[in-house]
Amino acid sequence: MLAEGRDQVVLTIRENLKKFAQKLGIPIFYGRGILKDKNTVYVEGSDITLKTRYILLATGSSCADLKDLPADGKKIFNTDQIWSLREFPRRMLIVGGGAVGVEFAYIFRMYGVDVVIVELLDRLLPSPDIPEESSRYLARKLKRLGVDVRLKAKVTGYSEENGRLKVNISDGSVVEVDCILVGVGKKPNTEGIGLEEVGVEKDSRGFVKVNEYCRGYYITLDACPQVYV
């Protein structure tokens, strides 16, 4: 099973990392780390306070949400929840034609799933860092594989009937699928860890602002902690 294979890989990596840390003499504390000042981290859950000269932020990310398509892990999945599937759907719709959405479209199509991918902008991989020719090539490749690519389109609504979803697309069509995968990217896990309290600046998406040395920008010099990203 796909999910079982994924779980085994994750478990192996996690256990190897723990062994490697132990070998190097690096202690691991389990809990939520919260910045208290420029040299102090409180580990919520373990009730431990750590004093340090430098702090490295490596909090990772979580799935970005769409208000009109709330992921429930049953019929509408995000890219974390999708691994819980115990059998492949016959047909699925993927919202988002960025790197995440395209990757899952390819994976599921290779397992025989009929895939519809919906992208709001006029090309797949709509990033200024990616040439338009690369996006066009990728779209042609996916279409040859049988992926139904819908550009300049979005989901406007959906309903469930007899265990399947009827999804309304802004191009006027209605697509019937077994499930929806919301693949619109990731958001940083920077909320609630004390960044604002110690003066670390974030952008409108929640990412920590850093300079060319990956050091964070700060609101005031007095609140400037030694925080690295």
Span 107-121, pLDDT tens digits: 999 999 999 999 999
Q: What share of the chain has pLDDT > 90, as a percent?
A: 67
Per-residue confidence band for 191, with pLDDT thresholds at 50, 70 and 90: very high
pTM of the model: 0.81
Q: Which residue has the higher pLDDT, 62 or 214?
A: 62
pLDDT at 225: 42
Mean pLDDT, to the nearest integer, of 223-229?
43
Fold matches, 2-61+194-228 and 63-186: yes
* pLDDT of 177 higher than 50: yes
Asked if 88 and 112 count as a contact pair (C-beta separation under 8 A), the reply is: yes
Kindly state the DSSP code that residue 20 receives in the 8-state scheme.
H
Per-residue confidence band for 56, with pLDDT thresholds at 50, 70 and 90: confident
Strands of 162-217 (E only): list them. 164-169, 174-177, 179-182, 186-188
Per-residue confidence band for 73, with pLDDT thresholds at 50, 70 and 90: very high
pLDDT at 209: 87
**Which residue ranges make up each domain of the chain?**
2-61+194-228, 63-186
* pLDDT of 167 higher than 90: yes
Per-residue confidence band for 15, with pLDDT thresholds at 50, 70 and 90: very high
The helix/strand/coil state of 57 is: coil
H helix intervals, the chain: 2-24, 99-110, 132-145, 195-198
Q: For residue 97, give every residue at least 6 positions away whose Cβ sits within 8 Å of its Cβ, in sequence order, or none.
A: 117, 118, 119, 121, 123, 124, 125, 126, 149, 151
Residue 209: HSE in the Cβ half-sphere, 13 Å Cα cutoff: 10
Q: Considering the domain 63-186, what is its CATH architecture?
A: 3-Layer(bba) Sandwich (3.50)
105-119: buried (b, 16+ CB within 10 Å) or exposed (e) per residue? bbebbeeebbbbbbb
Q: Considering the domain 2-61+194-228, what is its CATH architecture?
A: 3-Layer(bba) Sandwich (3.50)
Backbone angles phi and psi of 217, in degrees to 5: -90, 150
Cα-Cα-Cα-Cα dihedral of 74, 65, 138, 122, to 10°?
Answer: 120
pLDDT tens column, 26-55: 999 999 999 998 889 999 988 899 999 888
Mean pLDDT, to the nearest integer, of 203-223?
71
How many residues are recorded in the chain? 229
| Amino acid type, 93 | L
Q: For residue 31, give every residue at least 6 positions away whose Cβ sits within 8 Å of its Cβ, in sequence order, or none.
A: 43, 44, 45, 46, 48
By CB neighbour count within 10 A (0-12 exposed, 13-18 middle, 19+ buried), where does 201 fall?
middle
